[in-house]
């Protein structure tokens, strides 16, 4: 009977250790999911891209470049 008792105690100890490892893995998965979500994006199971954020300076540069293209196009239309 003592062998069965020792085996049972060992199995319970292994179960506790395994449960702790499973909890650590679940926490690691949770942290990684939060990192892949970004700010306000929903997690799509690893598919798709994270939302890209453009700075105000970047938006301004794009806006000024587009306005310059429109101005150039208007100049060529007036000349023709």
Predicted pLDDT of residue 66: 97
pLDDT tens-place string over residues 13-65: 999 999 999 999 999 999 888 887 765 555 555 566 778 899 999 999 999 99
pLDDT at 78: 83
pLDDT 10s digits, 60-79: 999 999 999 999 999 988 88
pTM over 0.75: no
Closest CA to 13 of 40, 60, 21: 21
For the chain, the residue count is 80
Q: DSSP states of the chain as a string?
A: -HHHHHHHHHHHHHHHHHHHHHHHHHHHHHHHHHHHHTTTPPP-TT-S-PPP---HHHHHHHHHHHHHHHHHHHHHHHH-
All structural domains of the chain with their residue ranges: 2-37+55-79
pLDDT attached to residue 46: 57
């Amino acid at each position: 009977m003592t062998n069965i008792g020792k085996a049972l105690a060992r199995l319970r100890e292994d179960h506790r250790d395994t449960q702790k490892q499973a909890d650590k893995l679940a926490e690691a998965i949770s942290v990684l999911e939060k990192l892949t979500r970004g700010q306000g994006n929903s997690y799509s199971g690893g598919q798709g891209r994270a939302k890209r954020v453009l700075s105000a300076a970047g938006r301004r540069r794009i806006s000024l470049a587009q306005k310059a293209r429109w101005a150039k196009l208007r100049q060529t239309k007036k000349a023709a």
